[in-house]
Amino acid sequence: MSARKELDVLISHQFRHDYGKLVSVLTGIFGAANLSLAEDIVQDTFLEAMKNWSDKGVPDNPSGWLYRVAKNKTINVLKRETRLQDISEEQLIEPTEEHDLDILFDEKAIRDEQLKMMFVCCHPSLSVEAQTSLILKTLCGFSIDEIARAFLSKSETITKRLMRSRKVIREVGVNFQLPERKELENRLDAVLKSIYLLYNEGYSASRGKSLIKKELCEEAIRLVDFLCSNDITNTSKTHALLSLMYFHFSRFDARMNSNEQIIPLEQQDRRLWNAEHIALGFYHLSKVTEDKNLSTFHIEATIAACHASAEDHSTTDWERIVDLYTYLYEISPSPIVLLNKTVAVSYAHSVQQALDLIDNPQLTEQLNTYYLYHATKADFFIRENNHEKAISALEKAMDLTKIPSEKSLIKGRLNFCLEQIQ
């Protein structure tokens, strides 16, 4: 690898590692309304790093170098800008020496500011799309192009979305601080929901060529792990979400073959399931087992634990999974929950019982445009050797998905059914 390539890789690594930390600290200094200013300073810091490190070599402590340069740039801005928007006299500091800002750049202060930034990104005045885009940009250090690729959007669309988000933050007057305790629980729910949506987009992509995007999942896990390590957000629900993520992520490498074709759960090589991630899933699940107010994350994590603890597909405790889905539907009614329950019923009881459930008129109406509903029906028909009906269901499923990996799986099942009736 050339020296220039090595430098580019290092800069990219440091950007992903330090960008969110620096933006969070500077936003704490300048106020949420001046988020763009904080980002500009950090961007300028990395541009200077690229030039300086190329000419003089990489410093022994790259992160320390970045923090020092960012502090110096911040000092210059504070001296120059006398009327920053949304910065009160209490917030405004007038450092004349570098050490005056040191306290804001120590490890604990950085973590505190990152937590505040998380709540800014997930402010209720912002749309879900805006929240996830802001998280990726300001906390995870994703570039505009990376965010656009992740959500299969144009870079211009993401740029406009972020600009609108910053405008909303300014106009609403979002404070760069943690919510009051009485508001914290609801706001934390919004943060967890937004990160979970980010994780789901990585684990089961709604668009694009690939079904799974590992980097999105890793960033979502990192964010929730961060929440679990903070005394304020270290709640049962937070641990339950992290447990659920780890259980699902443990199967990541077993879900696709080398040709990016989906491998169904029952056919996955469980030796490829990541034992460390499974152990982390059980660890975080143990943190919430005594909580009386069970969240949907807790129940979903317990279902995932049933799969993770089974030696193989046939020895899975399907009866318990049916009970868990029944309870999940009671506290959070959803057609997707019912659909998942039918699969568990097919293994715990019989395929016919599952077909009776999936043919429920209400479920059919709600999920008729969802490809997985028809693919699930097709699977039931195949297991009942009713290949003609399976073909009809698979053809509907094929028309309802645009993801190549999903189409490839459906096509394989279609070919199998056609062979059976010839």
Q: Supply the mean pLDDT for the chain.
A: 86
Tell me the torsion sign for CA atoms 114, 116, 117, 118: positive
Q: If you search the block for the tokens 């997985």, which residue do you land on?
A: 372
At 92 the pLDDT is: 45
pLDDT band at 291 (very low <50, low <70, confident <90, very high): low
- 50-64, 94-108, 261-275: which has the minimum mean pLDDT? 94-108
At 93 the pLDDT is: 46
Give this prediction's pTM.
0.82
Extract long-range pairs of 410-415: CB within 8 Å, 24+ residues apart: 410/371, 410/375, 412/261, 413/375, 413/378, 413/379, 413/382
At 414 the pLDDT is: 94
What the block records as the tokens of 228 is 């679990």
Cα-based torsion angle of the residue sequence 310, 249, 288, 276 in order, rounded to the nearest 10 degrees: 70
On the question of pLDDT at 402 being above 90, the answer is: no
Amino acid at the residue 201: E
pLDDT band at 103 (very low <50, low <70, confident <90, very high): low
Mention every residue, 6+ apart, whose C-beta is less than 8 A from residue 44. Answer: 73
pLDDT band at 211 (very low <50, low <70, confident <90, very high): very low
- 99-103, 269-273, 313-317: which has the minimum mean pLDDT? 99-103
Q: How many whole angstroms separate alpha carbon 26 and alpha carbon 110?
A: 10
At 96 the pLDDT is: 42
pLDDT band at 246 (very low <50, low <70, confident <90, very high): very high
Mention every residue, 6+ apart, whose C-beta is less than 8 A from residue 10. Answer: 53, 58, 62
At 290 the pLDDT is: 61
On the question of pLDDT at 145 being above 90, the answer is: no
> What phi, psi does 256 have (nearest 5°)?
-135, 145
Measured in residues, the chain has a length of 422
| Burial (0-12, 13-18, 19+ Cβ within 10 Å), 329 | middle
Q: How many whole angstroms separate alpha carbon 373 and alpha carbon 187?
A: 33
Mention every residue, 6+ apart, whose C-beta is less than 8 A from residue 360. Answer: 338
- Provide the percentage of residues in the chain whose pLDDT is more than 90: 50
Cα-based torsion angle of the residue sequence 55, 56, 60, 66 in order, rounded to the nearest 10 degrees: -60
**Residue 308 · residue 278 · CB < 8 Å:** yes
- Provide the percentage of residues in the chain whose pLDDT is more than 70: 90
Nearest Cα to Cα of residue 306 among 289, 323, 325, 321: 321
Q: How many whole angstroms separate alpha carbon 282 and alpha carbon 278?
A: 6
On the question of pLDDT at 200 being above 50, the answer is: yes
Listed by start position, the domains of the chain span: 1-106
Q: If you search the block for the tokens 């050490």, which residue do you land on?
A: 99
